[in-house]
Amino acid sequence: MEFVRLTHDVLRELHKRGYTVLKSPLPIDNADPTWYAEKVADVWDYLDDLASVPFKEPNVLIIRDALENMSEEELRGSVWVP
């Protein structure tokens, strides 16, 4: 296990291993977040559950959406690769 820079290659590898989201304990506006991967059966139910916590704005990156909609330059931070 190690921390690596977040890239499309890392996201593809995590997706291939069945991970669906990256979550960070740091605020959304953090310039260099640290991420950890999670396997979530239903991403949208998971996001709905997170949204139900008042006054807490979770920092979550959906792996598939990031691969499809973000450029390499838009990816930031490091991810703990299990």
Residue ranges making up the domain that contains 7: 2-81
Write out pLDDT tens, residues 23-73.
999 988 899 999 999 999 999 888 888 776 665 667 899 999 999 999 999
Residue 28: the pLDDT is 86
pTM exceeds 0.75: yes
Torsion of CA 61, 64, 68, 74, to 10 degrees: 20
Closest CA to 23 of 40, 45, 5, 44: 40
Residue 80: the pLDDT is 94
Residue 57: the pLDDT is 66
| Residue 61 CB contacts under 8 Å (≥ 6 apart), including other chains | 21, 22, 23, 24, 35
Domains of the chain: total: 1
Q: Are 72 and 7 in contact (CB under 8 A)?
A: yes
